[in-house]
A and B are shown apart, each in its own frame.
Chain A
């Protein structure tokens, strides 16, 4: 029920919540970022130095795709665990190597991974069963795949309620 109201990019329709994705290239752009109530800000860091600063500011959702996969080092995964970060992986902007690597590392370091469709139309939306089948066929354990597909979005909603 909440899927089309909250997780779409931009302003929500029936409730006040909105979801915004922000790309950050350098530390000069950091003052633009502000935590606001009823807003999920998904940050996409494009340089290594920005990651720690973004986490210090209290942002909880980090996006990883083909552009910034090499930016994040293995050492920074411990940071994600300390700050209890949710990682978002858009399905149409990554290759399956990245998806597999993020999911396999996150079972050890990060508690929650969001597998988002990031679709431009209704036809591109991935059904949860298809996501589950894709993750398991990539070698992700079935328990973790179930957690990523069904539990992690609920945690994102809980973040919103907390705000």
Chain B
């Protein structure tokens, strides 16, 4: 009985020692799990804005956020968090994330009226880098 207990304690001590030794020599690397829901990945939606009167960036962003709220609610607005980062030559880049870019895309037809003017927001392309999005808009 005593012998078996001693054996198990010794084997445990040896295995812990081996584990610490391997970690110290960087032979055993424990990677954190890649949970796709947790990973922060940006998405940039390039859109064309067609309107008769000029619109400023903040108005467009407010209307996009209102459209997302009206269609999907406050929860999805907080998840997707759409922001207009560039608005040049009636082309805009809306930044969002991988989880919520479909929500933003689906809400764009709801942005039909901005300050009593008819507006059409046409999605053109979804990219993963702001560099490519800028190139599509024509400023990069």
**Whole-angstrom distance between the alpha carbons of A133 and B122 in the complex?**
13
The number of inter-chain residue pairs (CB within 8 angstroms) is 38
Chain A interface size band reads 10 to 19
Chain B residues near A127: list those with CB within 8 A: 108-109, 122-123
In the complex, what distance in Å separates the CA atom of A122 from the CA atom of B106?
Answer: 17
Chain B, interface SS category: helix
* Residue B112 interfacial (CB < 8 Å): yes
Q: Check: B77 CB closer than 8 A to any chain A CB.
A: no
In the complex, are the beta carbons of B109 and A126 less than 8 A apart?
A: yes
| Interface check A136, CB cutoff 8 A | yes
* A123 with B112: CB separation less than 8 A: yes
Indicate with 1 or 0, residue by residue over B97-122, a CB within 8 angstroms of chain A CB atoms. 00001110111110011000011101
Which 4 pairs, one residue from A and one from B, show the smallest C-beta to C-beta distance? A133-B105, A134-B106, A133-B106, A133-B102
A contacts, CB < 8 Å to B: 117, 121-127, 129-130, 132-134, 136-137
20 A-B pairs whose Cβ atoms sit less than 8 Å apart in the complex: A122-B118, A122-B120, A123-B113, A123-B118, A123-B119, A123-B120, A125-B109, A127-B108, A127-B109, A127-B122, A129-B123, A130-B123, A132-B105, A133-B101, A133-B102, A133-B103, A133-B106, A137-B102, A137-B103, A137-B106
